[in-house]
A and B are shown apart, each in its own frame.
Chain A
Amino acid sequence: MTPGQIALRALIVGFIVSFAIITGFAYTTLLERKVLARLQHRVGPNRAGYIPLPRRGGGPERKLLAGFLQPAADAVKLFFKEDMTPGKVDRITYTLAPMITVMPAIILLAVIPWAGEITIFGAEFTPYFAIAPGLNVAVLFLLAITSISVYGVVLAGWASNSKYAILGGIRASAQMISYELALGLTVLIPIMLADSMNLGDIVAAQANGWFVFRQPLAAIVFFIGMMAELQRAPFDLLEAEQELSAGFNVEYSGMRFGMFFMAEYMKMIIFSAIIVVLFFGGYRGPFVDQLPGLGFLYMILKIIFFLFMMIWIRASFPRFRYDQLMGLGWKRLLPISVFNFIIVAVFIVLQEEGVFDSLLKLLGVG
C-alpha cells in the first residue's frame, strides 16, 4: 500500500472507532447508573426512552429497555446548559484544561487492536485491526499519552481560582505520578513475556494462555494502578465529593464539565481495553482464528466485564485518604512491581540460557 492509502484507511478506521467509543462512553454512563441502581436497591434512570409492549389482556404496558435514551437526554442537557466562566479564572487555561483532558483519551485509541487479521468489504487489515496497526512502540505510546491527561486536571484545578479545585488538582498530580510508576513497571512484564512492545505481538503471544494466568500478581497490580490512574472509586480523591464537593471540576459547567465527564468514561473503556490486551488475551477467544470477526465481540465482552468490575468496586468501597493512597502506591505497589519485574526478568534469562534444562538433567528428570 502507498502511504496515502495507509493514511486514508487510518482516517476511516479512526472515524469509525472514535464514533463507536463516543457512543460507548454514553452507554457506559448508563451502564454505571443502571448497575449501581441494581446494587443499591433502586431502579435507575427509566424515563427517557422505552419500547412499549402492550400486556396481553390489558393493564399497564410493559416498558422494555427503559432508559436507553438517557445518555442522549444527558448530552442534550449538557449542551443547552449555560457555560459559565467564573469571574477571576485564568481564561485561557480554564478553556484549554477540559480539552487537554479529553484529547489523550481519544488519542490512546490509535494503537488498540480490536480484532486480528480480517478482511472487511475486500479491505484487508493486517497484521490486526487498529487505527495505527503495527506500531512497534505501542506500549510506550500508551504510557506517554496517559501521562499527558494529568495536566488537564491539574490545570483545571489551578485555573479555576477556587480552593476546592486547587486541592483537587494537587491531589491529582501527586496521585497520578505515584501510580504511574507502578503501572509502568507492571506493563513491562507482558512486554518481556511477549518479547515485543507491539500490542499485536503481545496478543499473539497469549494464544496459548493469557498472561493473567502466568502473572496474576502483575495483572492485579495493573488493575489497581489503572483504577488510580482513572480516578475511579476508591481512588477518586481528586473529585472527592464529600470532602472537596467536586474537586478539580467544581467551577465547570455545561459541556466543559461534560468533557471531563467524557474523558473519565472514555478512559475507563480504553484502560479496560488495555488491560484486556496486556493480560486477558485481547481479541483472542474460541474460534477466533477461523472467524476473525469474533475478535470484536470478545474484545467488547471483556471490556464490559472490566467496566462492571469498576462499577461494582465503586458501589462497595469507601475512599482512601490522601496519605493512605500514597502509602499504598509507594510502599506496597511499587516494591511489589519492582520485585516482580526482577524475578520475571531473571527467570526469562535463566530459561533462555537453558539453566532449567541442565538443572532438570542434573536431577535426572529430563
Chain B
Amino acid sequence: MTIPSGGDTIQELTVEELRAKVGTGMEIENAEEHMLLSMGPQHPSTHGVLRLLVELDGETVVNLAPDIGFLHTGVEKSMESKTFTKALVMTDRMDYLSPMSNNLGYILAVEKLLGVEATPRAQVIRVILAELARISSHLVWLGTHALDLAAMSVFLYCFREREYILDLFEMVAGQRMMVSYFRPGGLWRDLPEEFEPAVRQFLDFFPAKIADYEALLKNNPIFLDRTKGIGVVTAEQAMDWGLTGPSLRGSGVNWDIRKAQPYGGYETYDFDVPVETDGDVYARYRCRIAEMWQSMRIIQQAMDRLPKGPVNIDDRKIVPPPRSELGHSMEAVIHHFKLWTEGFSAPVGYVYQSIESPRGEFACYLRGDGGPKPARVHFRTPSYVHVASLPFMAKGLFVADLVSIIGSVDIVLGEIDR
C-alpha cells in the first residue's frame, strides 16, 4: 500500500498481523492496493461510538466490518443485582432515544412473569407515551439522517419538535430522557392535568411540521439521488439477517409486533402498518415518515378513549402504597418498607416479551428464580442486528452511501453494547 497511513504502513505488516491489529477478523481482499480506513469510534456520522473498519478501493467500499463494544455498560449483568423495580432504571439507558419503549418492553416482561395485567387507564397511558417516544425517536433519526447527507437545517427543525415531546415526558415523569415512568403493575403516578391539552396541541401543530421536513427532503433531487436505489435489501435478505421494524417493512415484509403479537391493548386501535417495497434507503425513509402519521392516529384514539380510574393495580405485594397512607396505616408502612428494601418475589420461570420499538423488534427475556431479583435478563435489541447487516448493504457502494445507509438503519449504540 503506497498511501501514507498515519502510523505503520500496511506494507510493514503481514496480513495476519494486520488482522490482529484491526481486531475485527475482517477478510482483507487486497492489502497491497486498497486502503484500510478506520471510521470511528470518534467519527461524526457513525451515530455514537461505532467503529467501522472499511477496505476502500478508491472511494468504493470493498469490505466492511463493524467493531462494537466501545459503549459497553453491562446493563444486563447489573440488572441481576437489582430488584425487579430498581432494575428498571437500567433499561432507560440502553436505547437512549426511546426510553419509554424500553421501559414498556421490560415492564411487560415483568408483569408477564408475575401474571398480572395493568389497569385499563395505565395501558392507554402507556400506549400514548410509547407512541410519543416513537415520534421523538423518529425525529432524531430524521434529523441525523438528513444531517449525514449534509441537509443541516432539518436536524435543527426536528430537534425543535423533539424538544416539545421531551417536555411532555418531563411533565409526566420529571425527567426528559431517563424517564423510568412505567412500573410493575402500572405507572409511577397518574398523568398531570396539563398533559392532555399539551398532547392535543402537539397533535394540532405537528402535521404541518412533517410537511415542512418533507418539503425540504422529498422534493429535493439531490436527496432523492442520494437515497433511491442505495443500500437495497430484498425481502429474503431482510428476513435472513433478522432485520425488524422500518428496516424490514421498507423491504416489503408486513411485520409489526403491534399487529402480529399485540401487547398492551394495541389490537384495539385502528392503525395501518406502512410497507414499502423498494428496500432502499428512500423506502426506509418513507416508512418512518408514514409511521409518524400512524403514531399520531394512535395517540389521537388513545386520548379520546382515556378511561378514568386508578393507574396502579390494587395489589400491595407489587405496587407500593401511596404516601398518603403511610401516616395512618401500619400495614402500608410495612408494605412500603418491604417493597423498597427487599422488593417483590417473582415466581420461578422465564418469559419472553417482544414489543415494537421505534427501531424494530425489542424483546426482553427474563428468568425468575423465586427471589426478588431477576436471575437472568437478556435483551434482543434491533440495532444489534441492524449493525451486523451493514456490510452486505454497503459493499460495492461509495463511502458517502455508507454514511447514508448507517443513517437509514437507525442504530443506537447504547442499545447495541448494553
Contacts and interface: CB of A to CB of B under 8 A. Distances in A.
Contacts, number: 91
Interface residues of A, number: 34
B252 to A, nearest CB: 25
Interface in B225-241: 225-226
A236 B146 CA distance: 16
A321 interface: yes
B160 A243 contact: no
A188 interface: no
A163 B156 CA distance: 30
B345 to A, nearest CB: 51
B147 interface: yes
Interface string B27-55: 00000000101000001110000000000
Interface in A208-255: 233-234, 236, 240-245
Interface stretch (B15-23, B71-79, B379-387, B395-403): B395-403
A240 B157 contact: no
Contacts of B59: 167, 171, 322
B3 A315 contact: no
A322 B399 CA distance: 9
Contacts of A361: none
Contacts of A41: 156-157, 160
A114 B338 CA distance: 84
A319 interface: yes
B153 A318 contact: no
B150 interface: yes
Given A40-B156, A242-B150, A321 B225 contact: yes
Interface string A299-316: 000000000000000111
A252 to B, nearest CB: 15
8 residue pairs, one from A and one from B, having the closest CB atoms: A319-B150, A318-B149, A161-B4, A242-B45, A40-B156, A318-B151, A321-B400, A315-B153
Interface stretch (B106-114, B216-224, B364-372): B216-224
B410 interface: no
Contact of A324 (B150, B152, B225): B225
A36 B153 CA distance: 8
6 contacts: A242-B150, A243-B399, A243-B403, A245-B44, A321-B225, A324-B222
B5 interface: yes
A42 interface: yes
Interface of A: 36, 39-42, 88, 161-164, 166-167, 170-171, 233-234, 236, 240-245, 314-324
Interface residues of B, number: 34
A236 B6 contact: no
A302 B45 CA distance: 37
B6 A318 contact: no
Nearest to A161: B4
B403 A318 contact: no
Contacts of A161: 4-6
Given A163-B35, A236-B150, A317 B4 contact: no
A200 B5 CA distance: 50
Contact of B151 (A162, A241, A316): A316
Given A41-B156, A163-B5, A322-B398, A233 B225 contact: no
B95 interface: no
